[in-house]
C-alpha cells in the first residue's frame, strides 16, 4: 500500500493507492493509478510533483484514514503521525514506512476509469529495508 500526497497551493491532499508499481530502472520511474474523476486526479493534472510513501505493516490505520470517502486534508490526517515536507515536491511525506519517493509526472495515460500517472523518481527521501510491506489482497490485509 502506498500513500500518495501532493501540495495544491495552501492545501495538502493525499490518498491510499493500491495500484502502484515500478516501471523503469533507468531512469527510475513508477506508476500510480488514480480514479480519473477524483479531485486528486484533477490536482495531479495541474501539477507534476508529488510524493509516495510505501507503507509498512504497522501503518494499517494510516492506510485506512487516507482511503475513506470525504477525508479531510492530509495535514489533519497526519497530525498525530511523524511526517515532514519533501524538499523537491513540497508534498507531505509520512515517516516510518518502507520508502518515500518524490516523483515528477512524465506521462498521463487514460485506462478505463483511471488515469495512470507515470513519473520519474526525483529523490528517494528514505528507504528502510528492515520492515515488511503493508499488502492488501481481495479487500484484506495480508
Tell me the pLDDT tens digit for each residue of 2-24.
999 999 998 999 999 989 999 99
Distances (CA, A) of 37 to 43, 90, 131: 11, 24, 34
Is pLDDT of 140 > 90?
A: no
pLDDT cut 70: percent of the chain above it: 100
Supply the pLDDT for residue 139: 83
Supply the pLDDT for residue 24: 97
Supply the pLDDT for residue 141: 84
Task: Parse the chain into domains and list their residue ranges.
Answer: 2-141
pLDDT cut 90: percent of the chain above it: 90
Q: What is the pTM of this model?
A: 0.94
**Domain 2-141: top CATH class:** mainly beta
pLDDT in tens, 39-70: 999 999 999 999 999 999 999 999 999 999 88
Distances (CA, A) of 5 to 11, 25, 77, 130: 11, 22, 11, 24
Amino acid at each position: 500500500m502506498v500513500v500518495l500526497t501532493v501540495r495544491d497551493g495552501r492545501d495538502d491532499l493525499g490518498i491510499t493507492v493500491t495500484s502502484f508499481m515500478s516501471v523503469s530502472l533507468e531512469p527510475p520511474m513508477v506508476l500510480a493509478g488514480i480514479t480519473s474523476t477524483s479531485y486528486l486526479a484533477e490536482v495531479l493534472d495541474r501539477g507534476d510533483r508529488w510524493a509516495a510513501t510505501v507503507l509498512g505493516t504497522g501503518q494499517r490505520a494510516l492506510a485506512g484514514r487516507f482511503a475513506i470517502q470525504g477525508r479531510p486534508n492530509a495535514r489533519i490526517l497526519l497530525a498525530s503521525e511523524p511526517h515532514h515536507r519533501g524538499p523537491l515536491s513540497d508534498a507531505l511525506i509520512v515517516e516510518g514506512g518502507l520508502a518515500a519517493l518524490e516523483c515528477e509526472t512524465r506521462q498521463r495515460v487514460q485506462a478505463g476509469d483511471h488515469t495512470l500517472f507515470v513519473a520519474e523518481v526525483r529523490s528517494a527521501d528514505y528507504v528502510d529495508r528492515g520492515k515488511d510491506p503493508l499488502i492488501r489482497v481481495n479487500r484484506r490485509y495480508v
